[in-house]
């Protein structure tokens, strides 16, 4: 789990999580949930190499009920279009209303045997750079591979299954524990 942030780090965290909720709410309500630039940060490895972009999710601090909802949606029908519509309907309701309800870590699911996932988990650190509309963030992160039975990994896997009917088994769930006290925002927070 994250170390407690200083007041400046806590302000950055709260600002960022509020921004994430707003852009995700906008995406599900106007763009059918397609990931936007603010959900796909550029990833810089610990040695400074640019690794490309990755789609990240925010997950509720207590993910069990939402995970059960996504699991039910996937298991209820084999129709990918119906799964997609049900997930978008669920997420576009009140899901992103309370930023403090979300875990301040970010999560991403990589394909089986992904060299990018292996590199990130092996390095244990990276920098995520976000930008959308007139806001940007540069956030160092500690990276951790999650066990498949971890509650956040389950939330990530079942969420993605609603949107990706071809999701292969054995995907690799990673958590990005953001180091808020080392992060920056532009325009600055506060």
Three-class SS of the chain? CCCCCCHHHHHHHHHHHHHHHHHHHHHHHHCCCCCCHHHCCEEEECCCCEEEECCCECCECCCHHHHHHHHHHHHHCCCHHHHHHHHHHHHHHHHCCCHHHECCCEEEEECCCCHHHHHHHHHCEEEEEEEECCEEEEEEEEEEECCCCCHHHHHHHHHHHHHCCCCCCCCEEEEEEECHHHCEEECCCC
- pLDDT tens-digit profile, the chain (190 residues): 566 778 899 999 999 999 999 999 999 999 988 999 999 999 999 999 999 999 999 999 999 999 999 999 999 999 999 999 999 999 998 999 999 999 999 999 999 999 999 999 999 999 999 999 999 999 999 999 999 999 999 999 999 999 998 999 999 999 999 999 999 999 999 7
Q: Which domains does the chain have, with CATH numbers?
A: 7-184 (2.30.110.10)
pTM of this structure: 0.95
């Amino acid at each position: 789990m994250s170390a407690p942030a200083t007041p400046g780090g806590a302000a950055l965290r709260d600002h960022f999580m509020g921004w994430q909720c707003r852009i995700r709410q906008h995406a599900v309500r106007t763009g059918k949930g397609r990931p936007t630039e603010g959900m796909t940060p550029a990833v810089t490895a610990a040695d400074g190499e640019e690794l490309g972009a990755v789609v990240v999710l925010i997950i509720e601090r207590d993910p069990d009920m939402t995970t059960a909802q996504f699991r039910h949606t996937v298991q209820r029908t084999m129709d990918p279009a119906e799964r997609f519509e049900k997930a978008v309907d669920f997420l576009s309701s009140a899901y992103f209303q309370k930023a403090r309800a979300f875990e301040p870590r970010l999560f991403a699911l990589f394909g089986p045997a992904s060299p990018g996932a292996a590199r990130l988990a092996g390095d244990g650190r990276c920098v995520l750079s976000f930008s959308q509309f007139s806001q940007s963030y540069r956030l160092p992160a500690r990276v951790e591979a999650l066990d498949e039975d971890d509650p956040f990994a389950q939330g990530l896997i079942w969420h993605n299954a609603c949107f990706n009917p071809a999701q292969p088994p054995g995907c690799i769930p990673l958590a990005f524990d953001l180091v808020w006290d080392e992060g920056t925002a532009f325009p600055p927070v506060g």
